[in-house]
A and B are shown apart, each in its own frame.
Chain A
């Protein structure tokens, strides 16, 4: 079965690797300077053809390369997981300095947590590349979705995601509010750890 991205799947890989390498190099430079990494770990992926097809179907779009590359904006996804909250904003500032990228959308679910307690920072970038895109633009334009979180936010999101599969459970409301309580407790730890680090750095 051929990819929904058609001939562009290789370009997506190249762009993904390019952005990923910039972030890796950035943290390595900072590590040389301060002995501290700016992120804890990072995951970069091109959304599989199967999940992209499924998403197009779910949203009512034709399963074509045009939809996958120009309507959906998460064909390339990078998740940066940081130790401390301030590191998230350091990475954001660095990403915003890319001369070939434009930030199309930003959602700060850290300062404005979702009602279920979800916390994370989302960005959609548009990158100009030397490679052509499906609309024949040169330089070609591609979307990159970036999510930034702390380890605690990441662990909450991944555990909550695992629970979601069982829908229509008893006591739904109670469980949602208890999950939110867990998110608020983890957020409390993140904020306290950040404060302790700041106090140590300032003393």
Chain B
């Protein structure tokens, strides 16, 4: 699982990064809101943790921009005790949870786990990129034709459509869809990417997944 951490206090950021990494998360640390928006646009994250008080863009402004771009990755806000209004605006801006400083590390870890677990329920049921519509509840993808998807295919396509144009590694896909404990060979990722590409081509989709170990969902400018 990969996390984005935006916290401008360097000491706290270092400590959080160390503990999160110890809990087997890959962590990208940034120190202002502008960098958080950029990183969220470049990489696929399982969850993001933003401090509210940050230079350039504050956590709430960054969150608003990220949500406006169609990114529904779960976000946890870190707030100071007195910032009740911030918590409310934060939640209304699309945050999934908040934690008041100072907090216990144990609680932060539990809230991250809980947020990731619930992420599937928060994401929209119908997503659209290019001319392709994914209905996660019906497990079907349609463009000119429609076709059914298996449950893991649905989750994989949902992950790609949440992160269009971003390079996603086999490792990340495997962790996101099969989980860490699953002993299945990671070659299965390639197989499911192949299944999805065949199904996208069977519906004459204008999107496809390119790459051979890092994958990107791309929109094709013209159909053959």
Contact = CB atoms under 8 A, between A and B. Distances in A.
* Pairing of A with B: yes
Interface of A: 111-113, 180-181, 184-185, 187-188, 191-192, 194-195, 198-199
B191 A113 contact: no
Interface string B185-215: 0000001001100110010100000000000
Given A111-B204, A112-B204, A187 B195 contact: no
Contacts of A191: 147, 195, 198-199, 202
B194 A187 contact: no
Which of under 10, 10 to 19, 20 to 34, or 35 or more describes the interface residues of B?
10 to 19
A195 B192 CA distance: 10
B198 A194 contact: yes
Contacts of B202: 111, 187, 191
Contacts of A195: 194-195, 198
Nearest to B200: A191
Interface of B: 140, 144-150, 191, 194-195, 198-199, 202, 204
A194 B148 CA distance: 15
Contacts of A199: 191, 194
Contacts of B191: 199
B40 to A, nearest CB: 32
Nearest to A112: B144
A184 B148 CA distance: 6
A203 to B, nearest CB: 10
Contact of A192 (B144, B146, B198): B198
A112 B145 contact: yes
21 contacts: A111-B144, A111-B204, A112-B144, A112-B145, A112-B204, A113-B144, A180-B146, A181-B148, A184-B140, A184-B147, A185-B148, A187-B145, A187-B148, A188-B147, A188-B149, A188-B199, A192-B150, A192-B195, A192-B198, A195-B195, A198-B194
